[in-house]
Amino acid sequence: MVIHSDSHIVVRQISGEYISKDEILAQYQAPVRGLLESILDATILQINRKENSQADELSKLVQNSSDLNSSVYFEELQTPSTDRTKILCIDSPDNWMTPFIAYLRGGTLSEDQNKAKYLKHKAAHFFLKNGQLYRRTFSAPTVKCVDPVEAHHCLWVVHEGICEDHLAAKALAYKIIRQGYHGPIIHSDFVSYVKKCLQCQKFNNVPKQSPSLPVSVLSPIPFAVWGIDIMGPFP
């Protein structure tokens, strides 16, 4: 990967020739170096600003956004992308997988007979492998069970992650299952998750109204009016 930049300071700081004394630049420098180290062969080169005119014009588009076509959209960042709070989980709370893991490991059941019967019935679809809970399925390969936090992350990655597909609710759930993950939130909350997506609400195709008013079909006698739906051809 060859990266071109017209900033003399950025190129020298990334290469290590300059020391980043600015706190804001240092916050951006750390993740950039981490990403470059993960690439097998990456080089950053400095070019003249005249040779970077196309990217320079793109960066100035937002200044003249009022003169652009309405089909061009901008996303305004209210806070810097480096302001992300890191949370370390020091305690793993119980979740929906806890009773299944306890039963498969040591046969532990709830004192409630109804809950114990339900757990024994559902546990036939699950098994443990290297301490991880998996679920057997009929129409897909064996899927990995995830807790609510991991399930929410799966929804985010598939819906608006690196590919930014912004899939509909049903397609989103099927794609996550095909990727090999299972969790209650995937089945129950994917509809509400898509409805809360800001980009889907802004740019989704809105169903249009019928070009004419609906008219009731009156029939004086049985079978006076026939209706048929033409569909196909199907494979």
State the Cα–Cα distance between residues 167 and 158, nearest whole angstrom.
8
The pLDDT of residue 140 is: 65
CB-CB contact of 155 with 149 (8 Å)? no
Q: Does residue 127 fall inside a structural domain? A: yes
Task: Look up the domain containing 108 and give its range.
Answer: 98-135
186: how many CB neighbours lie within 10 A of its CB?
Answer: 23
Q: Does residue 52 fall inside a structural domain? A: yes
CB-CB contact of 164 with 171 (8 Å)? no
Residue 68: strand pairing partners: none
123 in the same domain as 163 = no
Least confident span in 10-14, 31-35, 116-120, 226-230: 226-230
pTM to 2 decimal places:
0.45
Given a cut of 80, whether residue 120 has pLDDT beyond it is yes
- Whole-Å CA distances, 93 to 90, 167, 214, 216: 10, 31, 55, 58
Q: Does residue 234 fall inside a structural domain? A: no
Given a cut of 70, whether residue 60 has pLDDT beyond it is yes
11 in the same domain as 51 = yes
Given a cut of 70, whether residue 188 has pLDDT beyond it is no
Total count of domains within the chain: 3
Least confident span in 57-71, 157-171, 221-235: 57-71
Given a cut of 80, whether residue 208 has pLDDT beyond it is no
Q: Does residue 221 fall inside a structural domain? A: no
The pLDDT of residue 180 is: 83
